[in-house]
Structure 1
């Protein structure tokens, strides 16, 4: 679909562009400006960016001659309204991916809509392709929260390849490093996704240099993660009033070990299979450590039903359905389940991997006075177990007695 030039749309040419400083959004700035739009770029930081990186992105926007560039920090809001529930639920899509990009896109979209309303923009643009999930996430949030603002998507509408975008920008005098542009990198508090030519195949892995963090530390290191009601509040002797700071600290400790790399294969919102590489040292360690602590402190059916809800919650979030009211219901369940998820988990950091050593908690149900698994029963007798087993087997005994032993 051709993008109608802004002068044909009336006097209001103000457009807010979701800007990352990468190839796609750089193309969008130049192309949309050429079409007559007044481009206001905005980057929404959901964590993971340093001040220097944000300054560099702002400088790039200025170099591309946007009308105005803004940086919006949503990190704490993102944690409070989303990430803590992903931790409570131990959410890993297809048991692999910590929803690094899926989660943050929703909050970026909400912040962009609010910014567009604040400056009176008539248009919102994003640089998503027509073959991925982000296009649906952005469009969905924009259309729900701002149905009167038009959505512009140059990359999707023109079906551009990355090489075509590079050629266009170079023709406009913008210096683009093709080797760097080969990989699409999205960085956030909950991990960094990496897409490239290898992830378009079913059999190739990403090269070492494609990942943002390289192996720098080889000596094993043990760290103790302290959880309070399901939230990471301490690392070793250091306490954190804000869990975001704890996540960033753990990432700083674990990233030099090149921990948390993998390639996720999953079903996209639009119905095709997709692969994406990612690097998420702190998220994977936190989720696995939290899950271990829950195994010791939650009751059997708490764990079972929370696992069902968390899987559903992750699916809904992945598909951009954060604004559905059922999400608040699931969050209430998960938050209530964390009342006794308090304790310390020891983790050993090693090159490319980590090990969970064990936990200490005053709510540890394993450290009970009732018995030790496989060793000693203190609250029942052998006769009690015989009677229990006899009654427990009744239903299947009756079934097999009347079905000739068939399963």
Structure 2
């Protein structure tokens, strides 16, 4: 192993990172500083995490509150692009990685570390996301990925490794699912989900009510939007993070935001995951409704184009790139007109925008009406159609 004096580890308190702390010390003969990102995963996951890190052998542990910043500076900008990965995934895990990586680098600079470490496996997307961010922000720091180096290969082997060193760990060998939570969503993988033919059981879901068990009466929630950002819920002005928390609470009861997909991982394999994104699903529905009012046809088409590119950018971990700045520039230009109010109906797993209005709306009832009007001469459409279809007419005459 190369000479490393101090490494900052992205630490969660779970089985993997609890084993990584002593492994780093033994194999690199270095000091290990634990870094914990609070991205809204919940108080239960953070409870006692500093003590766990020290008990595992870390010299110190930094817990950094990133919740407000993540929603305001990473989630809201992404929402402005309208991006969805492979038609369904709202990028909950992906959006959290760049802010975690950035904060980890900042801690490394603060403590004078010469290396960074993470607990991502060699099969997943997160190793690419973290290390791409590290490359952009701190190319001088060595990156250590234990899962690509050590001989440990299972939960049982990790538990044995900790037991041999008398390091306490609350994990057990019977863990069924792999979960990742933050303020935006929670993801579930493993267990019966590894078989795409197997329907997920109710024990998979932890954030939302089953649609079948959701209330039999719909609930209406009003979102106020300014420049493409949700700024108030039901008339109450809130910070971006607080808007999300409130919408999560409201929508989860109605079973909103559940998806079950087989996605293409960046590393080449397919994986099956279940995601719960209640508040985010409501936000997406509201922002889409405002776009319907304020964007013309060409603008909608262009936004659909860069939304697709941005979804892959976020999923692939390319946040700190010129491409991100370019696409967000386009999204922000459109967002200047995205002001208004939307009422979203929540019912049995569905979030549907049922009322929408905007000061910048291009919709005109005078023009669109099926009733009599005096602003649109229907006879003018004939000339438009002849010119619009002229190339087809010429091609047909050639035959």
Same fold (TM over 0.5): yes
Unpaired segments ≥5 residues, structure 1: none
Q: Which residue of 2 aligns with 1:262?
A: 259
Q: Report 1:232-311 matches (<5 A).
A: 232-240=230-238, 242-311=239-308
Show CA shifts across 1:44-82 (max 9, x none): 223x23456434323332332321110122333333432
Distance, in Å, in 1 between the alignment partners of 2:207 and 2:390 is 58
Distance, in Å, in 1 between the alignment partners of 2:386 and 2:175 is 67
Which of 52, 56, 68 is matched with 1:60 structurally? 52
Q: Which residue of 2 aligns with 1:23?
A: 15
User: TM-score normalized by structure 1?
Assistant: 0.89
Q: Which residue of 2 aligns with 1:322?
A: 319
Distance, in Å, in 2 between the alignment partners of 1:73 and 1:94 is 31
Residue 376 of structure 1 deviates from its aligned partner by 4.5
Show CA shifts across 1:145-165 (max 9, x none): 222222111123236233432
Cα contact 2:94–2:314 (8 A) shared by 1: yes
Distance, in Å, in 2 between the alignment partners of 1:233 and 1:24 is 38
Does residue 39 of structure 1 match 2:32?
yes
Which of 120, 130, 133 is matched with 2:122 structurally? 130
Unpaired segments ≥5 residues, structure 2: none
Cα contact 1:91–1:310 (8 A) shared by 2: yes
User: TM-score normalized by structure 2?
Assistant: 0.91
Which of 132, 136, 141 is matched with 1:149 structurally? 141
Q: Which moved more, 1:328-337 or 1:59-68?
A: 59-68
CA pair 391-162 structure 1, distance change in 2 beyond 3 A: same
Residue 286 of structure 1 deviates from its aligned partner by 0.7
Q: Which residue of 1 aligns with 2:74?
A: 82
Q: Which residue of 2 aligns with 1:397?
A: 393
Cα contact 2:285–2:351 (8 A) shared by 1: no
Aligned length: 392
Q: Report 1:124-203 matches (<5 A).
A: 124-158=116-150, 160-173=153-166, 174-178=168-172, 181-203=175-197
Distance, in Å, in 1 between the alignment partners of 2:56 and 2:204 is 26
Residue 269 of structure 1 deviates from its aligned partner by 1.7
CA pair 301-163 structure 1, distance change in 2 beyond 3 A: farther
CA pair 357-163 structure 1, distance change in 2 beyond 3 A: farther
Cα contact 1:371–1:379 (8 A) shared by 2: no
Distance, in Å, in 1 between the alignment partners of 2:334 and 2:256 is 29
What SS class does the counterpart of residue 208 from structure 1 fall into? coil
